[in-house]
Structure 1
Amino acid sequence: MDNKKYLYGASGHCKVIIDILQSNNEAVEAVFDDNPATDFTLGVPIISVKADIDFSEKKMLISIGNNNIRKRIAEGLGTAFYSAVHPKAIVSQYATIEVGSVIMAGAILNVESHIGKHCIINTGAVVEHDCLLADFVHLSPNVSLAGNVSVGEGSHVGIGATVIQGIKIGKWTVIGAGAVIIEDVPDYAVVVGNPGKIIKFKKNE
């Protein structure tokens, strides 16, 4: 196994992850991308995935914000994954973070919160005690989850949204920016407003 660290996806999200790793004195060897627009990002070389690459021997983190794409790539790479936690995040010693997830600056993970695989806990997001996030969840900047909230696979909670205690959010939902969630949210729902209301359902992913 190659112990060097690699990223997949040369997006703006990628630059944030490079900064997190460098803040932890960890180097990024290279970034892989399907269609690179440039040769470097923050001084890190970008390599087209059209090249003959054996990903099975590389430690990867998928630096793509879209939950659907991140899941597809994660399931297709067949490689080992690692996680990244910004040194200015506050993470309880009793919180758990699974592989492939990213915890950004100012985020708070309180006691016995659980972050699944390939999640994004964005800048300043708060995950209170006993919350459970399934795989491929994205909490946008300044989201606040009160205690005992669960969020299903692939759901995206928009910037500044607030979820009161004990709420269950289904899989592959979208919670709009600034929404206030005071009732459980079913699978595939799109919810906006204060209080949050379902405006439509997505097609099954």
Structure 2
Amino acid sequence: MSGAVIGEACNLGQNCFVAGGVVLGDRVKVQNNVSLYEGTTVEDDVFLGPSCVLTNVTNPRAQVDRRSLYEPTRLRRGCTIGANATIVCGVTIGRYALVGAGAVVAASVPDYALVLGVPGKVAGFVSRHGHRLRFADGLATCPESGLRYQQGAAGVRCLDLDEEQPLPAHLARGERTHDEWKAST
């Protein structure tokens, strides 16, 4: 971890590796078996699920030294990378995006996008609490927080909070499981 920058209140699970040159923001959760290589920037409040993979060279070869050619990967504030997902280098995962378990992402992802599958494709949009947003006339409300979201030509944005700030304390604790929320909507 020499040369890495690790923010406040980060949590690194078992068998994790953080290379020099990696930047982790505050309150980042890195679950078990995750390796973060040079060229990776992880902003505040990001969740990296167990055994997810972030690469740093598009065309690696054992016989060709490409250490000076690492391609940057940026994980924006509040995004989630699901268990066993693969993020191919050179992309940006948008703020509060959610990459589903096992997805393979080879292109940049917009803010609040829900990305599923191999190859990863945008399957919808989620709130800061991770609930699927159902837009009507360009507006949606998170069933858990009540926060309002707008979808327009520039993408999805939260109308009620500063997207560059952590959730306020009263919104930062979940009260019901995802299945309980799904059953109630």
- What TM-score do you get using the length of structure 2 for normalisation? 0.60
Deviation at 1:134, TM superposition (A): 0.5
SS of the counterpart of 1:132? strand
> In structure 2, what is the Cα distance between the partners aligned to 1:115 and 1:93?
13
Gapped regions of structure 2 (runs ≥ 5) = 57-71, 128-156, 159-185
2:69 equivalent to 1:145: no
Hey, which of these two has a bigger chunk of helix by percent? 1
Deviation at 1:202, TM superposition (A): 2.1
Identity in percent? 27
1:133 equivalent in structure 2: 42
1:167 equivalent in structure 2: 91
SS of the counterpart of 1:159? coil
SS of the counterpart of 1:150? strand
1:104 equivalent in structure 2: 13
**Alignment equivalent of 2:113, drawn from 189, 192, 200:** 189
Deviation at 1:151, TM superposition (A): 0.3
Counting matched residue pairs gives 114
SS of the counterpart of 2:109? coil
Moved over 6 A (4+): none
Deviation at 1:121, TM superposition (A): 0.6
Gapped regions of structure 1 (runs ≥ 5) = 1-91
> In structure 2, what is the Cα distance between the partners aligned to 1:157 and 1:108?
16
Q: Is the 8 A contact 1:111 1:130 kept in 2?
A: no
1:179 equivalent in structure 2: 103
> In structure 1, what is the Cα distance between the partners aligned to 2:51 and 2:76?
19
1:158 equivalent in structure 2: 82
